[in-house]
Amino acid sequence: MSDTALPGSKNPAARNFFAALQLDTRLLGMIGAFVVLCLVFNVFTDGRFLTPRNIFNLTIQTVSVAIMATGMVFVIVTRHIDLSVGSLLATVAAIMAVVQTDILPQVLGLGHPAIWIIAIFAGIIAGVLIGAFQGWMIGYLSIPAFIVTLGGLLVWRNVAWFITSGQTIGPLDETFTMIGGIGGTMGETASWIFGILAVAASLWLQVASRRRKSSHGFPVKPVWAEVTMAAITSIAILGFVAILNAYDIPKARLKRIFEASGETLPEGLTMGYGIPYSVLLLIVVAVVMTVIARQTRLGRYIFATGGNPDAAELSGINTRFLTVKVFAIMGGLSALAAAVAAARLGFSTNDIGTLDELRVIAAAVIGGTALAGGIGTIYGAILGALIMQSLQSGMAMVGVDAPLQNIVVGTVLVLAVLVDIIYRKRTGD
C-alpha cells in the first residue's frame, strides 16, 4: 500500500497519522465517497437504502461484475482492454444452462447431484479457452485488443443465441441456483464462524507480515498503528457479517424450510440469511487474485509488463504468452460470473450480461486501475463495482429513469478518470 501523505492536507497530525498507518490515500478517498453516497441515498429513500435487506441485495447484485472486474485489472494493467466479457458471459451461461438441462440429464439422469458441478466446469473450460484464443490473437497475431474483443462482443453474444436457439433456458438445477444469492446462504451461525475465522486469518497475516519485515531489516509500523489497523479490519469484517445476519428470512419462507425437513416452526423464532454463497465466492476470488498479483511471478510479470512492455520483453518476459494467460484468466472469471448471474436468475436468458463489459471496465477504472497500464488493485476494482451498483440501485430506489441513470454513471466514470489523473500528477505516481 502507498504511504503517501494526504495530498494537499495542511494538518501535520493527519499526515503523520495516515503515514504511520501506511494507508492508500486514494482508497480512503474512494471509501469516503462511497460512505457519502450511501448516506445521501439513505436520506432520499427515507432510510431504506441502508437497511439490512437492501445491503444484502446490493451485495449479491454486485458479485458478478466484481468477479469480472478483478480480471479486468490484469487486462488493463497490461495496457489492453476487453470489450467482450458481457457477451462471453452470455455464451458461457448458455453452455452451462444447456449442459445441465439438456445434455447431462440424458446421460446421468434427471436430478443427478453431479450435474451442477460438471456444468460449472464445462463453463469454466469454455471461458478459459475462449479467453486464451482471444489472447493468442492479441499476443501472437498482434491484432489490437480493442479490435479482437470488439469482434468478440458481437460474435459471442450471437453464439449464445445459437446455442439456446434464442430461447430462455431453465429452470436450472436447484443446487446450481444456490450460488446465485437468496437461494443459497450460509445462515447465521456459519456466517459468524466464517467472520471469526476471517478476523483470525487477517490478524495472523498482519503479525506474519510484521515479523517478515523485521527479520529482513525493513521498517515496520508503530505498534499503535498495527493495533489500529487490526481493530479497523476486525470491526469491518464482523460488522459486515452482523448486517447480513440482520436480514431475517420471511416467516412464510422459514415455515416452508422447517416443513420440508418435517419439523414445525417454533413460535417467535427468527433466522437471518447470513452470507450468500455468491459473496463467499467473490471473497475467495478476491483473495486468490490478490495473492497472484502480489505474491507470484505471474503477478510481478503482469505489472512489470504494464509498467514498461519493452523493458519487460528485454528482461526475458514472454509478453506474448503472458497476454494469453491474462485473457485466459479473464475468460475463466467471466465463466464464474456467468454461473453467479444465471444462478441468481434461475434461467439463462438472451440478454444476460448485456452492457456488463462497460460496467466491468468502469468498476476497474473507478477502483484506481490506470488505463495507461502498470497500476491497479484487486480490492479497488471490487470497491469500484460496489460503488457502481450502489449508484444504480440508489437511483432506482429514488425513482430516477433508466436513461438518466446511464447518464449519471457515464459522467461519474469520466470524473473518476479525471480525478485519477489529477491525483497521480500531484503525487508523482
Within 140-168, residue ranges assigned H as helices are: 145-164
- Give residue 5's pLDDT: 42
- Give residue 55's pLDDT: 93
In angstroms, the CA 389 to CA 59 distance is 9
At 212, phi and psi to the nearest 5? -65, -40
Highest mean pLDDT of the ranges 54-58, 131-135, 341-345: 131-135
For 23, 225, 272, 424, the CA distances from 20, given in Å and listed in that order, are 8, 6, 39, 21
DSSP assignment of 177-240 = HGGGSTT-B-HHHHHHHHHHHHHHHHHHHHHHHHHHHHHTT-----HHHHHHHHHHHHHHHHHH
Q: What is the pLDDT of residues 350-362, one digit of tens each?
A: 889 988 998 999 9
Q: What is the pLDDT of residues 206-221, one digit of tens each?
A: 888 888 888 877 777 7
In angstroms, the CA 340 to CA 354 distance is 15
Residue with cell 500500500: 1
Q: What is the pLDDT of residues 214-249, one digit of tens each?
A: 887 777 778 877 888 889 899 999 999 999 999 888
Asked whether residue 282 carries a pLDDT value surpassing 60, the answer given is: yes
In 3-state terms, what secondary structure has residue 50? coil
Highest mean pLDDT of the ranges 118-132, 256-270, 363-377: 118-132
Asked whether residue 2 carries a pLDDT value surpassing 60, the answer given is: no
Q: What is the pLDDT of residues 155-201, one digit of tens each?
A: 999 999 999 988 988 788 888 999 987 778 888 999 999 999 999 99
Average pLDDT over residues 321-341: 96
Q: Name the helix (H) or strand (E) containing 249.
A: none
**Which pTM was predicted?**
0.90
Asked whether residue 273 carries a pLDDT value surpassing 70, the answer given is: yes
Average pLDDT over residues 103-108: 88
At 348, phi and psi to the nearest 5? -110, 115
Average pLDDT over residues 252-279: 80
- Give residue 220's pLDDT: 77
Q: What is the pLDDT of residues 48-71, one digit of tens each?
A: 999 999 999 999 999 999 999 999
Categorize the per-residue pLDDT at 427 as very low, low, confident or very high, splitting at 50, 70 and 90.
Answer: low
Q: Which CATH architecture has domain 12-184+276-398?
A: Orthogonal Bundle (1.10)
Categorize the per-residue pLDDT at 20 as very low, low, confident or very high, splitting at 50, 70 and 90.
Answer: low
Categorize the per-residue pLDDT at 250 as very low, low, confident or very high, splitting at 50, 70 and 90.
Answer: confident
**340 or 182: which carries more pLDDT confidence?**
340
**90 or 414: which carries more pLDDT confidence?**
90
Beta-carbon count within 10 A of 154 CB: 12
- Give residue 1's pLDDT: 40
Beta-carbon count within 10 A of 34 CB: 16
The answer to whether the beta carbons of residues 77 and 293 sit under 8 Å apart is: no
Asked whether residue 261 carries a pLDDT value surpassing 60, the answer given is: yes
In 3-state terms, what secondary structure has residue 351? coil
Highest mean pLDDT of the ranges 104-108, 135-139, 180-184: 135-139
- Give residue 26's pLDDT: 74
Q: Mean pLDDT over all residues of the chain? A: 88
CA contacts within 13 A on the Cβ side of 9: 16
CA contacts within 13 A on the Cβ side of 6: 15
- Give residue 3's pLDDT: 40
- Give residue 8's pLDDT: 45
Categorize the per-residue pLDDT at 333 as very low, low, confident or very high, splitting at 50, 70 and 90.
Answer: very high
Asked whether residue 13 carries a pLDDT value surpassing 60, the answer given is: no
Categorize the per-residue pLDDT at 4 as very low, low, confident or very high, splitting at 50, 70 and 90.
Answer: very low
| Domains in the chain: boundaries | 12-184+276-398
Percentage of residues in the chain having pLDDT higher than 90 = 55
The answer to whether the beta carbons of residues 330 and 82 sit under 8 Å apart is: yes
- Give residue 221's pLDDT: 77
Residue 13 in grid coordinates: 497530525
Asked whether residue 79 carries a pLDDT value surpassing 50, the answer given is: yes
In angstroms, the CA 283 to CA 237 distance is 12
